[in-house]
Structure 1
């Protein structure tokens, strides 16, 4: 019985070690978000916009399929595009980042739409936003609320 328990214990340790190694792989922290900001808006505005740069310094493609924050009821990735001379906005179901590439979230282009703020967001406030790929958080950044440049 003791030998069996010892063997099970070693098995659990080996499994835990493999899980830690997988989490510490070079690709685990491959995404970095910088220059992150949220445009100021009137306190009653139901929607805000978020911008920044997302870099994939890893060796694998990363597909962001969800963006979340406790500060908002919902967050979506959107894109502005000219169609027949008219600017149109559409929701993107995901954002693919190739290895060694970056994507700019900027006014008039791709950006985050931040719905239903959970509280007031005055200039200077900081909001933590997470980026997810298949329910796994692949990046987190602090977005600063500020005026557009």
Structure 2
């Protein structure tokens, strides 16, 4: 809580991102206990950061339910994610262009808004196109497999543009 708002935003974004949680699952070897349906490829599933991060979150829930103690769950979280909380994780602030753009906006007293401008592809595998505006100026457009990724890509383009000026 003593950190600057921007640093806290980066810490939060890192903690809730898939990759660090997926890495922790691999460190703990939890993917070896994953039960999958017949015909599912365990190697493929364990390479999916989303599934591995869900497994980590499930582990936290199981610890809480078994111990009936939020303190025990918190101790587990803090012991496994200490580097994230301390900003020492290799993923810290990585690719968090939205937070950086929001910090820029805050420093320069401008507003930032995102809007989906296009969605293509099948429902099970869409591609999103998002534009980011600084005040009323379209500062960047990004594509992604989900809105968050498209917003991050749009923010990256916008940041590259404002850093040139």
Band the TM-score falls in, shorter-chain normalisation:
under 0.3
TM-score normalized with structure 1 length: 0.23
Answer 1 or 2: higher relative contact order, Cα 8 Å, separation at least 6: 1
Structure with bigger gyration radius: 1
Considering fraction of residues, name the structure with more helix: 2
TM-score normalized with structure 2 length: 0.21
Considering fraction of residues, name the structure with more strand: 1
